[in-house]
């Protein structure tokens, strides 16, 4: 059975304090790894797709990387507006399997 696990479940950072979120996956035949951001009461917002080990993608203060077993979302010098839940999802077969998410809180 495909599994996606995110850690930590919650993370509190001071503004400017860089950190990384982890997404570990066990799927048969990974076809893509997706990262989303979700604000309270809203639908997830697409951030990145990674297709192969070694691939990296960046957007503002966020950088996503992928290995054969896990993906990391690195947040550099975060700001309070980066506070949200970050979800990763693995695409295998004909569906996406989502992790439980990491709730990020950035304090000024």
State the residues that interact with other proteins by CB under 8 A.
31-32, 34, 36, 41-46, 49, 87, 89, 91, 93-101
- Give least dist CB 49 to other proteins, A: 5
Q: Which is nearer to other proteins, 6 or 65 (CB)?
A: 6
* Alpha-carbon distances, residue 23 vs 51, 80, 83, 87 (angstroms): 14, 22, 18, 9
Cis bond leading into 8, ω under 30°?
A: yes
- Give least dist CB 31 to other proteins, A: 7
Q: Which is nearer to other proteins, 3 or 18 (CB)?
A: 3
- Give least dist CB 82 to other proteins, A: 19
């Amino acid at each position: 059975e495909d599994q996606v696990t995110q850690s930590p479940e919650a993370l509190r950072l001071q503004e400017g304090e860089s950190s990384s979120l982890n997404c570990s996956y066990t799927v048969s035949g990974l076809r893509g790894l997706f990262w989303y951001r979700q604000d309270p009461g809203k639908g997830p917002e697409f951030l990145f797709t990674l297709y192969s080990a070694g691939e990296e993608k960046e957007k503002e203060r966020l950088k996503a990387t992928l290995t054969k077993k896990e993906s990391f979302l690195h947040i550099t010098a975060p700001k309070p507006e980066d506070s949200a839940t970050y979800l990763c999802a693995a695409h295998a077969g004909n569906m996406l399997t989502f992790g439980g998410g990491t709730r990020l809180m950035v304090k000024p």
